[in-house]
Each structure stands twice: as structure tokens, then as C-alpha cells.
Amino acid sequence: MSRIKNAFKGPAFIAFTVAGDPDYATSIMIAQTLIRSGADILELGIPFSDPVGDGPVIQRSDERALSAGATTDKAFALVREIRKESEVPVVLLVYCNTVYSREPARFYREAKDAGVDGILVVDMPAEEAGMVMDHAQETGIEQIFTVTPTTPPDRVKKIANLAGGFLYLVSLSGVTGKRETLSEAARPLIRRVREQTKMPLALGFGIADEVQARQAVEAGADGVIVGSAIVEIIERNAGDPERLERELAEFTARMKAAVRNVPGGS
């Protein structure tokens, strides 16, 4: 059983952070804290200069990481540091240009060697997946894909047939960022994608607190992905590592409890 599949034995809490934010050493502590505090999967963003799928919070995170000297090599080094003490699945969130400029075969090989379990190329449509699918299969890396509220049923089926690990359900149209309530599109999205596949479904975009996380699982999600709320904690406490570690640990523990304590959760 793959590490990602094993993470979905119960509803999973998937925590996102940007590699190298606010600096490399602190980002190691952040990743370790998220894992120790209960994250079932760590989603690690490789910072990019033009993250079109992200809102201002994560855009600023990318900018801080790049200003501090973040690189793809350092992102892989961070994964190797994680692997020294944890078997928690690591999924990379990366933009197509980063993979293409490094050369896909090399990128996937180095990711596998570092200990990466899955890769989401966030701006790569399923129609262009031929660029990476052979390399994913050769390395055993799970290729993650997104499904949005506007994805038609026939395309959902096509994406599900290509995907490995889990499907990343984008709960709303637009970019990442905290929202006050769970998107109205989330429940029907979960329902209609579930009709097309038995793969784990992880809901992301906009989930910021325990109430929304529980609602997502109650609606049928197998996991929730939280990014901007975590990155805001990092941004707010970047100058105080002790408080940063404490707030991240407390937030992660609350979110893990929220998704795990849903009666009848999948």
C-alpha cells in the first residue's frame, strides 16, 4: 500500500506550506511541526515567480521564499530532511515551468530520490499530461490532478483515469485564500465526482477552520487541504519561531481532530 493510500484510512488532514518560507531552516521546522502535530499528508509548494493559481497570501509566501534563496534543489533537500524522521506522504505542488525547465525525467527522478510520493503540476491540464505521465509511472510517483466546479462529467472521468493518489477538488472558482464559509459549490462537486470514481477526494481552496473542515467531511470528502490559513500563521509569526511553532502545532491539532471526529466520516 502506498503512503498516500495509507493516509486515507480515515479522513485526512492535508497541510500545505511553501518550501523555503520564510527561510530554509525555518521551513524545516514548519514541516516537522505540521507532521508531528497530526498532518496526514504534507503538501509542499515549490516557490514560483508567477503563481497564477494562488491568492495574495501564498503569493507573498512564494516571494519570501524566493527572496531567501529558495530553489528546487533546496525543496528536494527539505524533503530529504523530512524523510530522516517521518514516513508521512509528501506531495509537491509545482508549476509547469519549474518541471519543464529542469526537464521532466530529471525532475521526477530527483523527486523520487528525495522521498516525494506525489506531484501536482497545478497549471498542467490533463490534455498535456503526456509530458509527465511516463516519468510518474517509471518512478512510482502518484500524479495528482485537480477537478473544479466547472469540470464537465466526461472530463472528470478522463482525469480520474489518469490520476493517482487522490483527486484535488477545488471547492470554488478563483484562486487560493481563506473564506468565511464553505463554498456552496463544494457539496455538489463532491457528490458528482464521487459518482465517477472511488479514488480519495480531498477538498481544498478556502478551508480555514474546524467548522469548514467538518462540513467538508460530512459532505463526503475523504480529506481536506488547508494552505492559506497555515501560511498566514507563518507570515504573522515569522520573526518569533517559538510562537510560530506553538501556533502551527495548535492549529494542526485542532484541524486533525475536526476531520477525524466527524460521525460517519468516510
Going from the C-alpha of 221 to that of each of 38, 130, 167, the distances in angstroms are: 18, 28, 10
Q: In CATH, what number is assigned to the domain containing residue 40? A: 3.20.20.70
Q: Which residues of 169-195 are buried (b: 16+ CB within 10 A; e: fewer)?
A: bbbbeebbbbbeebbebbbebbeebbe
Please state the domain count of the chain: 1
Say how far apart CA 231 and CA 81 lie, in whole Å.
20
The answer to the question of residue 201 being in a domain is yes
Q: Is the pLDDT of residue 265 over 80?
A: no
Model-wide pTM > 0.85: yes
The confidence band for 181, taking pLDDT boundaries of 50, 70 and 90, is low
The answer to the question of residue 160 being in a domain is yes
The answer to the question of residue 153 being in a domain is yes
What tens digit of pLDDT does each residue of 111-153 get? 999 999 999 999 999 999 999 999 999 999 999 999 999 999 9
**What's at 178, amino acid-wise?**
K
Q: Is the pLDDT of residue 175 over 50?
A: no
What tens digit of pLDDT does each residue of 235-250 get? 999 999 999 999 999 9
Crossing angle of the two packed helices 153-162 and 186-194, in degrees rounded to 10: 70
Catalytically active residues are 43, 54
Domain around 253: 3-260
Say what the pLDDT of residue 171 is. 80
The answer to the question of residue 265 being in a domain is no
Say what the pLDDT of residue 79 is. 98
Q: Is the pLDDT of residue 204 over 50?
A: yes
Q: What percent of the chain shows pLDDT beyond 70?
A: 94
Say what the pLDDT of residue 71 is. 97
The answer to the question of residue 266 being in a domain is no
Say what the pLDDT of residue 173 is. 54
The answer to the question of residue 206 being in a domain is yes
What tens digit of pLDDT does each residue of 95-109 get? 999 999 999 999 999
The answer to the question of residue 119 being in a domain is yes
**Mean per-residue pLDDT, 218-229:** 95
